[in-house]
């Protein structure tokens, strides 16, 4: 989970920089800035949410021996915290959607693994039809198949987030959350829930044992997922400004890439020395705290109530800032763990076992 939090933070960093959802980045950026965006978007755009969904599903199964009602109550508490964070800090926050789908996935924890696999296949098939075939057919050679930057919306978002009126920022976060998040609930079901169920499937089929006894095969699958995801993501770069290409790359390349990342991180983490893995484990154990604090610091850096970097700093520099923030929080979380300081995670109804959520 530590790496999932980092990737989500990096993904959020792009939206703490510019109103990414209302622009055509290929007409908005030029030169080096466009190249930086393309690189970051290929490797990170959309894949962070898929990675977090798979990791969350896998982590959920480590609590399988706890009462289901306690697990769901824990997730509800986390959902409430994440929604408060979205309203007061970051309206584009993907965490509420991940947690809501995780609550649904929790209902499959005690189900037969074939049933969970079947649910994943069914949802993935619907995803292919709705977000793949239908999107391509509707957008193929359509005269309106181009992403336009809404300059009026860009200026409205930028002026609000750069203002020192915090109540206006809260109002904008509410509008953004309802416009770009809750209204997209169907995409949560198609784009997040399947990968959460996949995390449960990987746990139920014991992916650790599969890596141990079928290492070459599993590494080949991991590399194929990453390579396939990157190739599909490249379609967006080749078809500059095409809405259909962007949607196809986002809906298909990102989940493949995110799943490949999970498999790769899982392999690397289990090969790391125990002392080094424990350092990152602290960020996983206190993942919700790290995530919320990173949003607090990013809001202070970007909004007019802080350093007003929104719309002024490049995406590359903002990514660097996110990494610095994560490194600082990683040190703080290790210190808090050393002194056994309780944080947001202790609001949970489930007793947290440190080894479960590294």
Q: What is the pLDDT of residues 117-148, one digit of tens each?
A: 999 999 988 887 877 666 666 655 554 445 55
Q: What is the mean pLDDT of the chain?
A: 85
Q: What pLDDT does 101 receive?
A: 94
Q: What is the mean pLDDT of residues 6-31?
A: 84
Task: Label residue 355 by pLDDT band (50, 70, 90).
Answer: very low
Domain that holds residue 120: 2-357
Q: Is 74 exposed, middle or buried (0-12, 13-18, 19+ CB in 10 A)?
A: buried
CA distance 83 to 81: 5
Say which residues have a Cβ less than 8 Å from residue 83's Cβ, sequence separation at least 6. 96, 177
Task: Label residue 357 by pLDDT band (50, 70, 90).
Answer: very low
CA distance 129 to 237: 23
Q: What pLDDT does 40 receive?
A: 87
Q: What pLDDT does 264 receive?
A: 94
The first and second tokens of residue 320, run together, are 């660097």
Q: What pLDDT does 241 receive?
A: 59
Q: What pLDDT does 143 receive?
A: 45
In total, how many domains does the chain have? 1
Percentage of residues of the chain with pLDDT beyond 70: 89
pTM over the 0.85 mark:
yes
Question: Which residue do the tokens 């996983």 mark?
Answer: 284
Q: What pLDDT does 48 receive?
A: 92
Higher pLDDT, 185 or 257: 257
Say how many C-beta atoms besides its own lie within 10 A of residue 38's C-beta.
19
CA distance 327 to 285: 15
Higher pLDDT, 187 or 175: 175
Higher pLDDT, 24 or 49: 49
Q: What pLDDT does 279 receive?
A: 84
Q: What pLDDT does 354 receive?
A: 41
The string of DSSP letters for 51-104 reads HHHHHHHHHHHTTTTS-HHHHHHHHHHHHHHHHHHHHHT-TT-SHHHHHHHHHH
Q: What is the mean pLDDT of residues 206-220?
A: 89
Task: Label residue 170 by pLDDT band (50, 70, 90).
Answer: very high
CA distance 54 to 58: 6
Q: What is the pLDDT of residues 281-290, one digit of tens each?
A: 888 888 889 9
Instruction: Give which of 288, 312, 309 is closest to 300, Cα–Cα.
Output: 309
Q: With 60 as the cut, is the pLDDT of residue 221 above it? A: yes
**CA atoms lying within 13 Å on the CB side of residue 162:** 14
Higher pLDDT, 339 or 56: 56
CA distance 300 to 23: 24
Q: What is the pLDDT of residues 262-320, one digit of tens each?
A: 999 999 888 888 788 888 888 888 888 999 999 999 999 999 999 999 988 888 888 89
Q: What is the DSSP letter of 184?
A: G
Question: Which residue do the tokens 């609000």 mark?
Answer: 160
Q: What pLDDT does 350 receive?
A: 52
Q: What pLDDT does 23 receive?
A: 78
**CA atoms lying within 13 Å on the CB side of residue 15:** 20
Q: What is the mean pLDDT of residues 56-69?
A: 90
Angle, vertex CA 355, rays to CA 5 and CA 89, nearest 5: 25
Instruction: Give which of 318, 261, 325, 341 is closest to 292, Cα–Cα.
Output: 325
């Amino acid at each position: 989970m530590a790496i999932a939090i980092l990737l989500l933070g990096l993904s959020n960093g792009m939206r703490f920089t510019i109103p990414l959802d209302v622009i055509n980045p290929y007409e908005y950026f030029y030169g080096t800035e466009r190249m930086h965006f393309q690189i970051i978007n290929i490797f990170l755009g959309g894949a962070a949410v898929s990675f977090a969904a798979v990791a969350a599903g896998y982590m959920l199964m480590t609590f399988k021996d706890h009462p289901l009602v306690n697990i769901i109550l824990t997730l509800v508490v986390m959902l409430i915290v994440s929604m408060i964070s979205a309203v007061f800090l970051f309206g584009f926050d993907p965490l509420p959607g991940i947690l809501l789908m995780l609550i649904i996935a929790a209902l499959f924890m005690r189900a037969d693994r074939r049933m969970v696999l079947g649910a994943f296949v069914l949802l993935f098939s619907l995803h292919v039809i709705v977000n793949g075939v239908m999107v391509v057919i509707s957008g193929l050679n359509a005269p309106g198949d181009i992403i336009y930057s809404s300059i009026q919306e860009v200026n409205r978002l930028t002026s609000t987030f750069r203002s020192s009126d915090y109540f206006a920022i809260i109002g904008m976060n509410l509008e953004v959350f309802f416009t770009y998040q809750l209204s997209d609930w169907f995409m949560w079901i198609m784009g997040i829930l399947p990968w959460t169920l996949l995390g449960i499937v990987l746990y139920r089929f014991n992916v650790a044992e599969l890596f141990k006894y079928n290492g070459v095969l599993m590494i080949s699958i991991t590399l194929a997922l990453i390579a396939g995801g990157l190739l599909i993501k490249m379609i967006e770069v080749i078809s500059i400004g095409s809405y259909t290409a962007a949607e196809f790359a986002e809906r298909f390349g990102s989940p493949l890439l995110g799943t490949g990342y999970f498999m790769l991180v899982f392999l690397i983490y289990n090969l790391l020395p125990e002392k080094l893995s424990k350092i990152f484990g602290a960020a996983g154990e206190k993942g919700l705290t790290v995530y919320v604090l990173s949003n607090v610091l990013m809001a202070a850096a970007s909004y007019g109530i802080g350093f007003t970097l929104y719309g002024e700093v490049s995406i590359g520099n903002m990514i660097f800032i996110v990494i610095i923030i994560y490194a600082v929080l990683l040190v703080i979380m290790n210190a808090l763990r050393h002194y056994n300081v309780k944080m947001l995670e202790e609001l949970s109804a489930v007793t947290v076992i440190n080894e479960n959520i590294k």
